[in-house]
Amino acid sequence: MSENLPLLLVPGLICDSRVFAAQCAALPQAVALPGWGAVDSLGAMADKLLAQAPERFALLGHSMGARVALEVARRAPERVERLALVSTGTHPVGAGEAEKRYALRDKGRAYGMEALVADWLPPMIAPDNRPALIGPLTAMCLEQGLSAFEAQIEALLARPALEDFLPTLTMPVLSCTGALDVWSPPEQAAAIADAIPGAVLEIVADAGHFLPIERPAAFTQIIARWLTQRA
């Protein structure tokens, strides 16, 4: 049964295991991975995960971590018992995306990581949740450092196409996001679910992009249901 398999939780851009603190406390099988540091490709991240993972596992990725999880599923589908794609997208690089990411990078180079995070982070937290979370999340992102941001945006900008891959997924898949996520909005999560046979869609009220830490109890309940979903 999936609820007895290890559940690997994969963090996103300049994030680490702290995003999943509540889930690790509530789910005994959950193991949160650390941040990615200066790894500059999704494939290298996937290979690093697979080299350290048990033979078979459930896999949940948040934001960029979901793209890593998809790359793991592409490379070793027989090892991924089920897959959760949280607060993410599967679209290719869009017009202006590289320029926006490089503008943040350049701000970090010119004014320091504090300036970069001050621009990048607040819009990803729902307004009502910012007072409690902006401090700890800022501290987490600052600890990752500018070199990690630089490498990880290169990984994102070189991401592979997924349109033909999503319909081939056969394990139970969860697509989940916050109702107030402006980076990975509900309609984007719905499109992911529509593209994957049998996928389940969950939208969590009053949460932005940092769903696992903004609405931890509701999110943990969703994970528990997904872990017992029949294949």
Q: Report the CATH number at residue 207.
A: 3.40.50.1820
Residue (of 219, 218, 207, 151) closest to 178 by Cα position: 207
Element (H, E) at 23: helix 21-26
pTM of the predicted structure, to 2 decimals: 0.96
C-beta of residue 171 within 8 angstroms of C-beta of residue 80? yes
- Name the burial class of residue 105, with classes exposed (0-12), middle (13-18) and buried (19+) by CB atoms within 10 angstroms of its CB: middle
Indicate whether 122 belongs to any domain. Answer: no
Indicate whether 167 belongs to any domain. Answer: yes
Show Cβ contacts of residue 71 under 8 Å, excluding neighbours closer than 6 positions: 42, 43, 45, 46, 160
Indicate whether 133 belongs to any domain. Answer: no
Confidence of residue 11 (pLDDT cuts 50, 70, 90): very high
Q: For residue range 14-39, what is the model confidence (pLDDT) as tens digits?
A: 999 999 999 999 999 999 999 999 99
